[in-house]
Amino acid sequence: SQQGEEDPQALSIQEGENATMNCSYKTSINNLQWYRQNSGRGLVHLILIRSNEREKHSGRLRVTLDTSKKSSSLLITASRAADTASYFCATVTGGGADGLTFGKGTHLIIQP
Amino acid sequence: DVKVTQSSRYLVKRTGEKVFLECVQDMDHENMFWYRQDPGLGLRLIYFSYDVKMKEKGDIPEGYSVSREKKERFSLILESASTNQTSMYLCASRSQPGTGGYNEQFFGPGTRLTVL
């Protein structure tokens, strides 16, 4: 079952600009995580935000979480060509060692 | 540095063959997962294991089985491969959830399986 839905599906911006991706989900969550995937590779964890947190920063990344709207956003500031990748939000609903439920991802292209 | 390795990056098999995909993690994690990734469908959970010799079905277990004989190794088995199992397979591991809740998962590089 698809829990997270990223928006937009694709995003192309100039190097140096900020990139914002959004994620909406349907059910209550324990936490929400963002992952990056470079073409044909595995996923790399970027940041985790718990359901009782509203904002979190890590380097050039800023994540917000609005549990009342069941949505999250990922902001990448001062984008670089190396940020070109697909970005996925994933939710953990709790209740055991169940896996992540992923959205379909946002494909981000940074134009040099 | 944490590491999850998968036995093959690319694999080509024929319909009806039995296929083993191996995943090894060196982080002493209790929980391990197998996902498949398909264009337009994203990542979907096939099976997971929360400890040795334990397994649980995910969202799409049909046509697959798993084995977890040792803590560091989690194998995905396609009993009789079919063309609709052509996909990218991703393994992940995670430490047991604690009082702080669930932690991040660490992913392997993926195995791109083609079934002819």
Six token digits for residue A112: 């040099």
* DSSP structural state of residue A42: -
The pLDDT, as a whole number, for residue A1 is: 39
Token pair 């940074």 is found at A110
Residue B102: per-residue pLDDT: 76
Residue predicted with more confidence, A62 or A96 = A62
Average pLDDT value for residue range A105-112: 93
DSSP class of B97: P
Residues in B closer than 8 angstroms to A98, CB to CB, are 45, 48, 56, 58
Domain of B57 in residue numbering reads as 4-97
Q: Is B72 on the interface with A (CB under 8 A)?
A: no
Written as six digits, the tokens of A72 are 């999250």
Asked whether residue B109 is domain-assigned, the answer is: no
pLDDT reported for residue A2? 45
- The domain segmentation of chain A, as residue ranges, is 5-111
Nearest residue to B78 via CA among B8, B13, B25, B6: B13
Position B85 in a domain: yes
Residues whose CB falls within 8 Å of the CB of residue A99, separated by 6 or more in sequence, listed in order? B33, B35, B45, B48, B58, B92, B105
- pLDDT per residue as tens digits for the range B51-80: 999 999 998 999 999 999 999 999 999 999
Tokens of B16: 């009806």
CA–CA separation, A88 vs A33, rounded Å? 8
When the pLDDT of each residue in chain A is averaged and rounded to a whole number, the result is 90
Give the whole-number percent of chain B exceeding pLDDT 70: 96
- Whether B113 is in a domain gets the answer no
Note the pLDDT tens digit of each residue in A18-50. Answer: 999 999 998 888 899 999 999 888 899 999 999
pLDDT bracket for residue A93 (50, 70, 90): confident
Q: Indicate whether B110 belongs to any domain.
A: no
Chain A nearest CA to B109, separation (Å): 4
Q: Does some domain include residue B51?
A: yes
The domain A5-111: what is its CATH number?
A: 2.60.40.10
Determine, yes or no, domain membership for B112.
no
Kindly provide the b/e burial profile for residues B35-72, where b requires at least 16 CB atoms within 10 angstroms of the residue's own CB.
Answer: bbbeeeebbbbbbbbbeeeebbebeebeebebbbeebb
How close B40 comes to chain A (CA, Å)?
Answer: 7
Nearest one of A18, A48, A32 to A94, comparing CA atoms: A32
Q: Let me know if residue B106 belongs to a domain.
A: no
Answer yes or no: is pLDDT of B100 > 70.
no
Beta strands in B26-72 (DSSP E): 31-38, 42-49, 56-57, 64-70
Q: pLDDT averaged over chain B?
A: 93
**How many other CB atoms are found less than 10 A from the CB of residue B27?**
14
Q: Check CB contact under 8 Å for A97 and B112.
A: no
| Total domains, chain B | 1
